[in-house]
Chains A and B, each alone.
Chain A
Amino acid sequence: MDWLFSFPHMDDASLRDLKKVIDEGFRGFTRAYGDGLEAIFEPLQHFLIWSERFMTKTPWPIILLLIAAVAWFASRNWKIVAGTVVTLLLIGYFDMWDDTMKTVSMIFVCTVLSIVVGIPIGIAMSRSDRVQNVINPILDVMQTMPSFVYLIPVVMLLGIGKVPGLIAVVIYAIPPMIRLTNLGIRLVDKDVLEAADAFGSSNWQKLKNVQMPLALPTIMAGINQTIMMALAMVVIASMIGVQGLGQPVLKAISNQYFTLGIFNGLAIVGIAIIFDRVSQAFGARLQKHREVVHG
């Protein structure tokens, strides 16, 4: 009756061997291709370094003006611009300017990468149910797998530093980008698509003139989600050497520095709110044509 109370499992020796084989296989793969992979990601590293240098080496008033200008052009709303400036001034006053700029730079690169990779995948998914059926479970894994678990192979392959951090963040943050691009395109009004067909649009013309513009508000929601999720990963990414607001938080956790933790945590919240309000206001502005003026 023993088997009733303890689940019959693979015997310990085979299980150990299995794990060993997989581990060794991956280690071998790392040794053989690690350098090659690192070379592939080198352009990303340059982009990261360039972006961080720009954000930290430029005099702060210029950066402040730049961010305020971006906020204005995206939202056309003085309240949002004022909130942005006040938040950034407070962050700077509490001596978190440099860390914040590093984080902003990281988030910027992550978002750009997520958009560049995510939108084409989302488009591919929207065009074929088969592609959708393959990619959906992969996205499920990416979203539910604890991030520490996929940090292990990433660190084994690429070591500690900015690029593995970037990859970890993008893996976590890209699914909403892909999903909402797919959803946005699939939800485009069938009547309008039929009209585009009736006028002899090619697939590319349909995508460019009808599907992408009409899916844009949904895609903007995806970008907003991606930014928020990337920010949520800042602390975890700091464990593998990503600089920015995450590192002081990490220090605060291990040393029980309550105030240090709360200050940096609030700074993350502050920039999250800025990103969120600005990108949402931009998304809303893209939908201006939807306002029904005539009853």
Chain B
Amino acid sequence: MGNKKIGGFGIEIKKLYKIFGPNGADCVKLVEQGVTKTELNTKHGHVLGLRDINISMPAGGIQVIMGLSGSGKSTLIRHINRLIDPTSGEVIIGDEDVVKMDAVQLREFRRHQTAMVFQKFALLPHRTVLENTLYGLEIQGAPRNRQVDCAMRWIERVGLKGFESKYPNQLSGGMQQRVGLARALANDAPILLMDEAFSALDPLIRVDMQTVLLDLQKEIKKTIVFITHDLDEALRLGDRIAILRDGEVVQQGTGQDIVMNPADDYIASFVREVNRARVIKVETVATPLNASARELKISVPAGAKLEEAARAMTLAGASEIAVVDGDGQAIGVLTLPQAVDAMVNAQVACSTPNAKKVA
């Protein structure tokens, strides 16, 4: 329909600065010279929102931006559809710089290229679920019957069939966010921006919604930017993760990169409590192929997590498992001790007294 090539839109953020205050532009130089956030605030009366952000977001993948409150993550996502104007820098999508668009171009861009899901749902309270879902299409000026067809399809897809004529206030938080998701998806834009979309939901519903999103992503393959303050959520959803602190990217990479090689103590303290068995991929730990691998009875595909491999081994009563690639060719062998070691070992590296006891 609307989008020419799904997955064709990566997002390239280059040298992005955001400084809040009357003369933000003048302060960029200062910040480039190394003035800190506190200094900028006390001496110059400006608030540093984002400092030199450079992120390449993969087309058709989920880029998670993680940080605690005040880290600038919500500010950052609003630069992608320019709900907030940057002080300097570029946001390149396709071959266009969002920062340079004029008002009309920007409106068209927002109508057709992006859709957004909000932390507080931001549904229109006076409209029914159906009317909320077709909002984006209505704004685009699509014919009414196409609006309704498309909205109904997504309402059904997010599991709200039968609730079309309810008002948002009549639904629970989880259901309201499903409406928010359906509204964004009905827009049929290649880029989906999710600003702490699941943070307001209780833990069970949140996991449920993550599953809904991952299932949908398998077929829609959109470029998703997902903001969260929850590392477990980031690791579960993110193809790539960028961690933000005080308006700066402190580390970016895959979930496994971050868990196995935290860039500094700050991130190390984050990843300490993570269930590593669900993050580390089998091939990372497995010994590359040797002759015996072909004779193993059980196997896991490359890309599977240690937890799966460990479960398969325990079930089969084996202590070794083959790691196979997409064609079923064995590429390595994982032993139970290797797996257990990887699950607990980094905690020793983190050297917390607690972790040592476990090891």
CA separation between A213 and B135, bound complex, in Å? 14
B170 touches A199 (CB 8 A): no
Q: Mark B87-130, 1 if CB is under 8 A from A, else 0.
A: 00000000000000000001111111011101010111110000
Across the two chains, which residue of chain B brings its CB closest to A206? B139
**Chain A residue contacts of B135, Cβ below 8 A:** 199, 209
CA separation between A189 and B170, bound complex, in Å? 18
Identify which of A205, A289, A292 contacts B139 (C-beta below 8 A): A205
CA separation between A213 and B109, bound complex, in Å? 26
B115 touches A199 (CB 8 A): yes
With a 10 A CB-CB cut-off, give which of A191, A195, A216, A292 has the most chain B CB atoms: A195
**Chain B residue contacts of A294, Cβ below 8 A:** 169-172
Across the two chains, which residue of chain B brings its CB closest to A197? B83
With A198-B116, A202-B107 given, is the CB distance from A192 to B122 under 8 Å? yes
B107 touches A200 (CB 8 A): yes
**Chain A residue contacts of B140, Cβ below 8 A:** 200
A17 at the interface (CB under 8 A from B): no
**Chain A residue contacts of B122, Cβ below 8 A:** 189, 191-192, 194-195
CA separation between A294 and B129, bound complex, in Å? 15
**Chain A residue contacts of B114, Cβ below 8 A:** 198
Chain A, range 176-219, C-beta contacts under 8 Å to B:
189, 191-192, 194-195, 197-202, 205, 209-210, 213-214, 216
With A191-B118, A290-B169 given, is the CB distance from A198 to B126 under 8 Å? no
Identify which of B83, B118, B169 contacts A291 (C-beta below 8 A): B169
**Chain B residue contacts of A210, Cβ below 8 A:** 124
Q: Is the interface of A mostly helix, strand, loop or mixed?
A: helix
**Chain A residue contacts of B126, Cβ below 8 A:** 213-214, 216, 289
With a 10 A CB-CB cut-off, give which of B109, B111, B126, B169 has the most chain A CB atoms: B126
Identify which of B83, B118, B139 contacts A201 (C-beta below 8 A): B139
A199 touches B169 (CB 8 A): no
With A195-B122, A214-B126 given, is the CB distance from A293 to B169 under 8 Å? yes
A199 touches B167 (CB 8 A): no
A293 touches B139 (CB 8 A): no
CA separation between A206 and B114, bound complex, in Å? 18
Smallest CB separation, B51 vs chain A (Å):
24
With A289-B167, A292-B169, A293-B169 given, is the CB distance from A197 to B124 under 8 Å? no
**Chain A residue contacts of B169, Cβ below 8 A:** 289-294
B252 at the interface (CB under 8 A from A): no
**Chain A residue contacts of B120, Cβ below 8 A:** 191
**Chain A residue contacts of B123, Cβ below 8 A:** 192, 195
**Chain A residue contacts of B116, Cβ below 8 A:** 195, 198-199
Q: List residues of chain B with CB under 8 Å of any chain A CB.
A: 81, 83, 106-112, 114-116, 118, 120, 122-126, 135-136, 138-140, 167-172, 187, 193
Q: List residues of chain A with CB under 8 Å of any chain B CB.
A: 189, 191-192, 194-195, 197-202, 205, 209-210, 213-214, 216, 289-294
Known: A192-B122, A198-B110. 13 other contacts (CB 8 A): A192-B125, A195-B122, A198-B114, A198-B116, A201-B139, A209-B124, A209-B138, A209-B139, A210-B124, A214-B125, A214-B126, A216-B126, A294-B172
